[in-house]
Amino acid sequence: MITKNTIIFSIRLLVSLCFLVFFPLLIQAADVELTVGNGSGLPDSQNNPLVVSLLNLFDPVKAVQMDIRDVDDYLVCTGCTPDPARAPTFECYFNELVDGSCRVILNPPELELISTGDGPIFTITYDVSPSAPSGECRDLNPENVIVLDQNSDPLDAISTPGEFCFQSDIDDDSIPDDEDNCPYVSNPDQLDADSDGVGDVCDNCPCHPNSPALGTCVKNVGGVMMSYREGDSFITCEDNTVCTATDGTCQKEQGDYNENYIGDACECYANLISDGTINSADLLDLQQSPCFGKTILANPGCQEYDLNGDGRVSTWDYIILKLHYGRDDCETCGAGIPPPAPVPKTGQILCWDSDGNSTNCNG
């Protein structure tokens, strides 16, 4: 006689058997997605890293093999390193194929498996051909992918290409344009004395910040745009807020009001005795000058005391000197740096606007 309890037991047994039979198959059939991470490199550069990731892995695997395909043959594989966080004891090696791609093989020792989980499985290093097109990107595809599970049975793998971008270096200083603090003038040392993000060799004010990100407070005094001191210091700013209390504005973008290649933040108008420091000697020289109150037209010899260039030696000139009193960096800051000459490469024509900024004439 079949009782209710017998039926319930039979159903539970059947479910358990189905689970034991089919669940491993479900795991076995799970796809393994392979993704090539973003890479980049300058033409003719060496030992660039490129990360390959393994996604959606349910079980540990025993081996992985794939061809890293660069269709234009701009990359040359030079090495392969397994990711230590995934499995510290498997080997990674490669051989270059006839078609320009390289074959990467992950081969664990007999009892070691590549661990379960998503993320990088290895990093290859490569050299970039000098003929690689700067500023352009290509797909880098994993092909002929073989993934073996822990029983050495193959798993289906979906390979996902990754984008590889060849970086541009217009001035040939081995610093990519998007990282170069002076992309049109060679400066491999990347020196930036005022830490404003503009390299010294192309900064019209190397002693005080005046870049898109960081500036110095300036104000219009008697028709000239000049920085000014608050106590013993000039005022560094990121926006106008900090300058408002002193009736100034935050000068950024390499501002040059009188277009003499000296940034407004560095312009020295009052170094009358030309010793690089604005001090009591300059103040005394202006106060004792017979030029005060006179026009330059009638008194050409008074030109040096007309600090704001308005044609008259007046109170404005005295105010300008007082605002810069104590400044000692006129020689280093006020030399003036003309806009850098363009360094065009093949197929690229550079133009310059009135502010000395470069544009691509080809659009």
pLDDT in tens, 47-81: 889 899 888 877 888 888 988 887 788 888 888 88
3-state secondary structure of 70: coil
pLDDT for the residue 178: 85
What is the DSSP track for 192-251? -TT-SSS-GGG-S-SSS--SSS-EEEEEEETTEEEE-EETTEE-EESSTHHHHTTT-EEE
Amino acid at 73: D
pLDDT for the residue 250: 94
Q: What does the pLDDT look like over 258-304, one tens digit per residue? A: 888 888 888 887 878 777 788 888 888 888 889 988 999 999 888 88
Whether the per-residue pLDDT at 222 is higher than 90: the answer is: no
pLDDT for the residue 22: 46
Nearest to 108 by CA among 145, 158, 153, 152: 152
More reliable by pLDDT, 340 or 80:
80
Q: CATH topology for 31-166? A: Immunoglobulin-like (2.60.40)
Whether the per-residue pLDDT at 243 is higher than 90: the answer is: yes
**Highest-confidence range of 43-47, 52-56, 188-192, by mean pLDDT?**
188-192
pLDDT for the residue 102: 84
Averaged pLDDT, 22-40 = 67
pLDDT for the residue 209: 93
Residue 102, class by beta-carbon neighbours within 10 Å (0-12 exposed, 13-18 middle, 19+ buried)?
A: buried
CA distances from 214 to 150, 181, 193, 217, 234 (A): 56, 14, 13, 10, 13
Distance CA 314, CA 292 (A): 6
Nearest to 254 by CA among 349, 354, 164: 354
pLDDT for the residue 25: 45
pLDDT for the residue 9: 46
Distance CA 37, CA 52 (A): 6
Averaged pLDDT, 310-325 = 87
3-state secondary structure of 13: helix
**Phi and psi angles of residue 220, each rounded to the nearest 5 degrees, phi first:** -80, 115
- How confident is residue 334, by pLDDT bands cut at 50, 70 and 90? low
What mean pLDDT is reported for the chain? 80
Nearest to 363 by CA among 345, 352, 349, 353: 349
3-state secondary structure of 301: helix
Parallel/antiparallel/unpaired status of strands 32-36 and 157-160:
parallel
Residue that is written with structure tokens 């050495």 in the block: 152
pLDDT for the residue 114: 85
Distance CA 317, CA 78 (A): 66
Averaged pLDDT, 241-253 = 91
Q: What is the DSSP letter of 349?
A: -
First to last CA, the chain: 89
Distance CA 133, CA 196 (A): 31
Q: 200-333: CATH homologous superfamily?
A: Dockerin domain (1.10.1330.10)
Q: What tokens does 262 get?
A: 């000296």
Domain locations in the chain? 31-166, 200-333
Q: What does the pLDDT look like over 130-180, one tens digit per residue? A: 888 888 888 888 888 999 888 888 988 888 888 888 888 888 888 888 889
pLDDT for the residue 320: 86
- How confident is residue 10, by pLDDT bands cut at 50, 70 and 90? low
Q: What is the DSSP letter of 132?
A: S
Whether the per-residue pLDDT at 39 is higher than 60: the answer is: yes
Is the entire prediction scored with pTM above 0.85? no
Beta carbons of 142 and 161 less than 8 angstroms apart: yes
pLDDT for the residue 348: 42
